[in-house]
Amino acid sequence: MKKGKIKLPGLIIIALIIMVSCQENERTDDKFGILRISITDDPFPIEYIEEANITITKVEIRTTDDSNGYPFITLLEETREFDLLELRNGVVAELLEMEIPVGDYDLLRLYVDEASIVVDNNGTLEDYKVKVPSGEQTGIKIFIEPPLSVQGGLTSELLLDFSLEKSFVIQGNMNTPAGIKGFIFKPVIRAVNNSFAGTVQGVVSEKETEELIENASLGIIAEDDTLATAFSDENGFYAMTGITEGSYLIYAFKENYDTVHANIEVKAANLTIQDFILTPKE
């Protein structure tokens, strides 16, 4: 098994990442372009989660060319294992990079062989194996909207943002005598064309003491739906990448503090800084 990750200062990347940008490539053949695929995670409360592992065995992408019956191209047939919990605050894991024919692509199939999650249950580590419905046989379907355009001699990057909270559904409650009974795996993955996306990051601190706040919950809202989430680290830092260009509402929340909201404008291939100062509740 291969396991890899790349750290980028000041960025969070939590699902699976496939990136698409327009960069110069040495190849002059205009019939092929480069597709680079990486992985990121959109996290959920991490104070009791130690690991969230997935094993990917195959990746396919579908062309929009109807003349050949919308064929799929195999991008990967190799076992790759990732701990999604490591893909936070600027950590990117590359899944693949290869040449593919120029054209438009609108659907990705991700074959996940197995998934597991390790929980810290009051000091005891418990490893839960999670069944992957149809993930190994028919693949997890991830639609690319708008379709990804691969151009000759250029590199395209597509980001797969894996929602850990929505994908690993807890059965039971660790705060009750019965505890956690297990997890159901319902993969929720957002495909983002990085050519049209930017990054939002900042620092969360306390108003009165100016101390940095760890494990504050942050989220970006688009049309009454949560587009991306993050948790501040020990330095109060958070980041959310793969945010499509546009106007959004962002919030910061921490228990025993007042929730703060702000309006932000995200530009493609740009960094948006949004710091938060939280006031303790009386």
Write the CA distances from 280 to 5, 207, 217, 257, 260, integer angstroms.
Answer: 37, 8, 15, 4, 11
Give pLDDT, residue 22.
43
Residue 1 lies in a domain: no
Measuring CA to CA, which residue among 87, 122, 94, 121 is closest to residue 35?
94
Q: Which two tokens stand for residue 45?
A: 């409360």
Give pLDDT, residue 104.
95
The structure's pTM equals 0.78
* CATH number, residue 251: 2.60.40.10
Measuring CA to CA, which residue among 73, 21, 16, 36 is closest to residue 190?
16
Measuring CA to CA, which residue among 252, 231, 270 is closest to residue 88?
231
Domain of residue 81 covers: 6-195
Q: For residues 204 and 78, state if they share a domain.
A: no
Q: For residues 191 and 208, state if they share a domain.
A: no
Give pLDDT, residue 174.
67
Give pLDDT, residue 181.
78
CB 225 within 8 A of CB 178: no
Q: For residues 87 and 19, state if they share a domain.
A: yes
What is the residue-level pLDDT of the chain in tens, covering all 282 positions? 545 443 333 333 434 444 444 444 444 468 999 998 887 765 555 667 889 999 999 999 999 988 888 899 999 999 999 999 888 876 779 999 999 999 999 999 999 988 999 988 778 898 998 878 765 678 899 999 889 999 999 999 999 998 887 888 887 776 677 777 788 888 889 998 888 899 999 999 999 899 999 999 999 999 888 888 889 999 999 999 999 999 999 999 999 999 999 999 999 989 999 999 999 998
Give pLDDT, residue 237.
96
Give pLDDT, residue 25.
45
What Rg, from alpha-carbon coordinates, does the chain have?
20
Residue 76 lies in a domain: yes
Q: Give the neighbor-by-neighbor strand order of the sheet with 246-253.
A: 225-231, 217-222, 246-253, 260-266
Question: Domains in the chain: how many in total?
Answer: 2
Give pLDDT, residue 226.
87
Rounded to the nearest 5 degrees, what angle is found at the Cα of 170, between the Cα atoms of 108 and 184?
Answer: 45
- d(Cα 202, Cα 10) in Å, to the nearest integer? 9
